[in-house]
Amino acid sequence: MPPGDTGNGRGQPRGGPDEAGPEAGARRRTRSVLRASWWSGRAGALAAWAKAFHAGLETRFPVITRLVDRMLSVNIFDSATRLAAQCFLTAIPLIFVIAAYAPTAVRDQLVGSVSAVFGLSGASKAQLEQAFSPTSNELKQATGVVGGLMVLLSATAVSRAMQRLCKRAWQIPRAGTKIAPWRWVAWIGLWLGVLVMQEPLRKGFGLGAWLGVPLTLVTLTSLWWWTQHLLLGGLIGWRPLLPGAVITAIASTCLSLTAHFYMPRALNRALTEYGSAGSVFVLLSWLIVVCVAVAIGISVGAVLAQEPFLAHRLGTPTSSPGGAVRR
């Protein structure tokens, strides 16, 4: 066969002119991309790479990878949004109940405390005072004792949402871990009592913010410590719950200080431009931010308490009630 003859007698490469050169390679690649097998292979390769990358990170940075895994399992933003929505839906009926039945001194104290928490002034504070203003007997008759009790019972939806968050953070399964319902009511009652005392607490009982800020931090640490223990039904000991309480209290205190600079301006502007609907949006947005901080703080505390360095010092159990092994 003469040189250059590839078998077709015309000097063309075997297989025809359509299968030679860079254009043919491009066409073959295009046909491959259109096949489901090609995409399946690529997805498998990407999944294998992701697993190897995760394993490498877990070896080098075990705490960080466990934190990320816990955040994903808790579903931080979904849990926080649900919790914020429940808080908001609970707050409005409670305002009417308190306005109808609470003594004047309690109403005035609550107005001052809410104003102290958010730093309210101007139109937003005036609207709050109007909501808690003394009411006639018509509102009491419309609300009724039974209606007030139903509002308090429905408020336990917030307790249940917080309980689910704590269980997810500590990887406690739902099956076999029932919690007594009275804990939901007790949690709501204590938080209402603490809310009423926020004004004197933040002012350091008249001595100033230099005492008020540390007192607020200590109070919130105690509250979040007790919250986890109460809503988990004592399934986790006191000491392992302390890191989450401290982290959540620090985050809550920082957000509370930030609220004094943001909330008054935002609420007054929203009331001026959009009316009450604007204030609803601002309050709900701020509640979501606070609940995200709470969800992150409790989850991070749970992971840190299960790390070997702290686990044997805090007495953290190696497995959750129900058999879910903690890493």
pLDDT tens digits, 119-151: 777 777 887 777 777 555 655 555 556 566 667
pLDDT band at 274; cut points 50, 70, 90:
confident
Q: CA-based Rg of the chain, rounded to a whole angstrom?
A: 30
Say what the pLDDT of residue 162 is: 92
Alpha carbon of residue 42 to chain centroid: 35
| Rounded Cα–Cα distance for residues 211 and 228 (Å) | 26
C-alpha dist (Å) from residue 145 to 101, 168, 192: 9, 36, 19
| Rounded Cα–Cα distance for residues 260 and 305 (Å) | 33
pLDDT tens digits, 191-202: 888 888 888 888
Contact at 8 Å (CB) between 116 and 202?
yes
* Helices within the chain (DSSP H only): 21-33, 36-60, 62-74, 76-101, 104-118, 123-131, 137-154, 156-169, 182-196, 198-202, 209-231, 238-274, 276-305, 308-314
Q: Which of 167, 169, 313, 192 is nearest to 244 (CA)?
A: 169
CA angle at 36 for the pair 32 and 38, rounded to the nearest 5°: 45
Work out the average pLDDT over 237-263.
91
pLDDT tens digits, 72-97: 888 888 888 989 988 888 877 777 67
The DSSP result for 252-289, as a single string, is HHHHHHHHHHHHHHHHHHHHHHHTHHHHHHHHHHHHHH
| Rounded Cα–Cα distance for residues 220 and 215 (Å) | 9
Work out the average pLDDT over 274-287.
84
Number of Cβ within a 10 Å radius of residue 313: 11
| Rounded Cα–Cα distance for residues 261 and 23 (Å) | 64
Say what the pLDDT of residue 136 is: 58
Task: Locate 14 and state its tokens.
Answer: 């075997």
pLDDT tens digits, 3-26: 545 444 444 444 444 445 556 555
Bridge partners, residue 319, by sequence: 325
Specify which of 131-145, 194-208, 241-255, 306-320 reaches the highest per-range mean pLDDT: 241-255
| 3-state DSSP assignment of residue 206 | helix
Chain mean pLDDT for the chain:
77
Say what the pLDDT of residue 218 is: 93
C-alpha dist (Å) from residue 14 to 19, 21, 38, 135, 245: 9, 12, 27, 97, 75
Task: Locate 23 and state its tokens.
Answer: 């254009």
Q: What is the pTM of this model?
A: 0.75
Would the pLDDT of 1 be above 60?
no
Say what the pLDDT of residue 205 is: 84
Contacts with 288 (C-beta within 8 Å, 6 or more apart), sequence order: 80, 81, 84
Which class for 198: exposed (0-12), middle (13-18), buried (19 or more C-beta within 10 A)? buried
Would the pLDDT of 98 be above 70?
yes
Share of the chain above pLDDT 90, in %: 17
| Rounded Cα–Cα distance for residues 288 and 267 (Å) | 16
Bridge partners, residue 325, by sequence: 319
Count the residues in the chain.
Answer: 327
Would the pLDDT of 221 be above 90?
yes
| 3-state DSSP assignment of residue 325 | strand
Say what the pLDDT of residue 33 is: 56
Say what the pLDDT of residue 265 is: 87
Say what the pLDDT of residue 181 is: 81
203 against 61, higher pLDDT: 203
Would the pLDDT of 321 be above 70?
no
Work out the average pLDDT over 38-59.
65
pLDDT band at 206; cut points 50, 70, 90:
confident
